[in-house]
């Protein structure tokens, strides 16, 4: 981690590049890469004062079963329909699992996409890549997360980072591959700010998010010493565009680090206890509440990982035997946890007038097998599953596509990850013809050629 108040000298190696030199994971105060801050104007960021659409992406790590959540098949044989019963929602004709009673009262606010699928390997990592970037990583190319693209194209609004990831990045899910939660080929300067803390912990605080009074004269002197060290150490850097950016925007970065607005956005203790309980006093629930505060503070994109791994933890990954989860966890833990947090998030955004300008997507990396396995669970199944979309231009009380009688394959209007990506970008007001700078200056299309948004989702 790169600290402005570090005591140790910094030694630079030949061949250092801008993103390697300036970026070091996070600023000690706020977690933003220096080059992300310094490079925004030079890289063509748009007017941050312009009002536009925001997005919250809920990554439902593990892959929820479509048959036990939002695409029930009550007339199928027991080995297919599973243990749960459907319930009516506040939208006639739409039913979901009994494990989501609060969601059922808000069906008018969200849409269901019941025909999502992909054709890649049925492993978690590939699904994570495609559902957060729109593409499968191949040939060593890592594509950027939606929020990272938004960071590059529009930059921050005021003194808060443009893209925040809560509570921690996705960890080991068995494939040892990238999960699609970084800026990829755009460079580390557009990586998200990662909280790396559990907001449900009673002692939760963002490291070094201290009031300006604590920014002592000593720390200011150390900052000045650091700048002097840079000036003395790298003559090539002194005359580069990066150095000019560093000099012209250093105060901007320092102002951001000490921003009261940025600090307050992370202070969950400001929320009434009843509100915190409504979301659920757990990691996912408090992350959703924190996401609402992030959006209020001006963060453009928030990614929430409901879980960090699928091993030895109760998750959506219901193979039925250890180290995975039993299907009963949908009613015992995972279902109620999601029901509380998701419903509360939609309620709060709606009541505060933010749902009109904030899309909320709930996406798993795949679905589950139509037939219950011998362990009483369901295995990986990318051939068909259900996603959730709400807010912004999304039409609530809407169902897009359908699956066959077993929930195994799309029956009509199949939806690909590329179309999900195009829909998110379209909803954010980003031109789908945009090209991103790739290696050796080779432009890379924002989305796969020919992929358009899911028009049926929009009002």
Report pLDDT digits (tens) over 64-96: 999 999 999 999 999 999 999 999 999 999 999
Q: What is the arithmetic mean of pLDDT over 24-48?
A: 38
d(CA 298, CA 160): 6
Q: What is the arithmetic mean of pLDDT over 339-361?
A: 98
- Sheet of strand 54-59: strand arrangement: 193-194, 163-166, 301-305, 54-59, 358-363, 385-390, 110-116, 398-400
Peptide linkage before 167 cis (omega within 30 of 0): yes
pLDDT for 232 equals 56
**pLDDT (tens digit per residue) in 205-228:** 875 544 444 344 445 555 555 556
pLDDT at 136 over 80: yes
pLDDT for 206 equals 72
pLDDT band at 43 (very low <50, low <70, confident <90, very high): very low
Contact 133, 416 (CB under 8 A): no
- Would you list the DSSP string of 191-245? PPEE--S-TTSTT---TT---GGGS-HHHHHHHHHHHHHHHHH-HHHHTSHHHHH
Mean pLDDT over each residue of the chain, to the nearest integer: 84
CATH of the structural domain 40-215+258-368+379-457, one choice from 3.40.720.10, 3.30.1330.10, 1.25.40.10, 3.50.50.60: 3.40.720.10
**pLDDT (tens digit per residue) in 226-281:** 556 555 554 454 455 444 444 433 444 454 556 777 788 899 999 999 999 999 99
H or E element at residue 81: helix 78-81
d(CA 40, CA 42): 6
pLDDT for 38 equals 40
Of 138-147, 370-379, 432-441, the range with the lowest mean pLDDT is 432-441
Exposure of 54 in the CB half-sphere (CA atoms within 13 A): 29
- 3-state class (DSSP) for residue 360: strand
Give the burial class of 372: count Cβ atoms within 10 A of its Cβ; 0-12 exposed, 13-18 middle, 19 or more buried: buried
d(CA 29, CA 264): 13
H or E element at residue 95: strand 95-97
pLDDT at 32 over 50: no
pLDDT for 48 equals 36
Residue found by looking up tokens 């195994």 in the block: 408
Q: What is the arithmetic mean of pLDDT over 426-430?
A: 97
Q: What is the arithmetic mean of pLDDT over 189-214?
A: 77
- Other beta carbons within 10 angstroms of residue 310's beta carbon come to 24
Portion of the chain with pLDDT greater than 90, in percent: 71
- Would you list the DSSP string of 370-393? SSPPTTSS--EETT-EEEEEESTT
Q: What is the arithmetic mean of pLDDT over 100-110?
A: 98
H or E element at residue 301: strand 301-305
d(CA 179, CA 388): 20
């Amino acid at each position: 981690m790169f600290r402005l108040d570090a005591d140790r000298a910094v030694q630079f190696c030949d061949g250092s590049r801008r993103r390697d030199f300036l970026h070091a994971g996070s600023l000690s105060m706020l977690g933003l890469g220096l080059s992300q801050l310094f490079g925004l104007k030079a890289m063509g960021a748009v007017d941050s004062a312009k009002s536009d659409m925001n997005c919250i992406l809920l990554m439902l790590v593990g892959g929820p079963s479509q048959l036990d959540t939002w695409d029930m098949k009550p007339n199928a044989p027991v080995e297919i329909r599973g243990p749960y019963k459907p319930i009516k929602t506040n939208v006639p004709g739409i039913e979901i699992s009994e494990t989501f009673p609060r969601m059922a009262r808000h069906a008018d606010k969200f849409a269901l996409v019941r025909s999502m699928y992909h054709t890649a390997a049925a492993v978690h990592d590939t699904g994570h890549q495609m559902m957060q970037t729109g593409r499968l990583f191949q040939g060593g190319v890592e594509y950027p997360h939606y929020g990272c693209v938004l960071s590059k194209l529009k930059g921050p609004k005021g003194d808060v980072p443009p893209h925040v990831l809560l509570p921690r990045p996705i960890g080991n899910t068995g494939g040892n591959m990238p999960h699609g939660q970084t800026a990829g080929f755009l460079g580390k300067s557009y990586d998200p700010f990662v909280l790396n803390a559990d907001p449900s912990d009673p002692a939760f605080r963002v490291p070094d998010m201290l009031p300006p009074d604590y920014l002592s004269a000593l720390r200011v002197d150390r900052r000045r010493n650091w700048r002097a060290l840079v000036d003395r150490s790298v003559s090539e850097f002194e005359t580069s565009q990066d150095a000019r950016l560093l000099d012209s925007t250093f105060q901007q970065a320092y102002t951001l680090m000490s921003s009261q607005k940025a600090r307050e956005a992370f202070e969950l203790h400001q929320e009434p206890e009843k509100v915190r309980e409504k979301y659920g006093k757990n990691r996912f629930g408090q992350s959703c509440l924190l996401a609402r505060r992030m959006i209020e503070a001006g963060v453009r994109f928030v990614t929430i990982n409901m879980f960090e791994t699928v091993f030895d933890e109760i998750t959506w990954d219901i193979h039925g035997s250890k180290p995975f989860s039993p299907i009963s966890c949908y009613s015992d833990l995972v279902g109620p946890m999601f029901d509380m947090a998701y419903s509360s998030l939609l309620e709060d955004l709606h009541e505060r007038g933010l749902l009109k300008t904030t899309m909320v997507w709930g996406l798993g990396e795949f679905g589950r097998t139509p037939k219950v396995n011998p362990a009483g669970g369901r295995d990986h199944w990318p051939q068909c599953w259900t996603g959730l979309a709400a807010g912004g231009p999304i039409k609530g009380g809407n169902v897009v596509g359908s699956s066959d009688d077993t929930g195994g394959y799309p029956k009509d209007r199949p939806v690909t990850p590329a179309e999900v990506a195009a829909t998110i970008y379209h909803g954010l007001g980003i031109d789908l013809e945009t090209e991103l700078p790739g290696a050796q200056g080779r432009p890379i299309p924002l989305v796969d050629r020919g992929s358009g948004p899911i028009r049926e989702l929009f009002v």
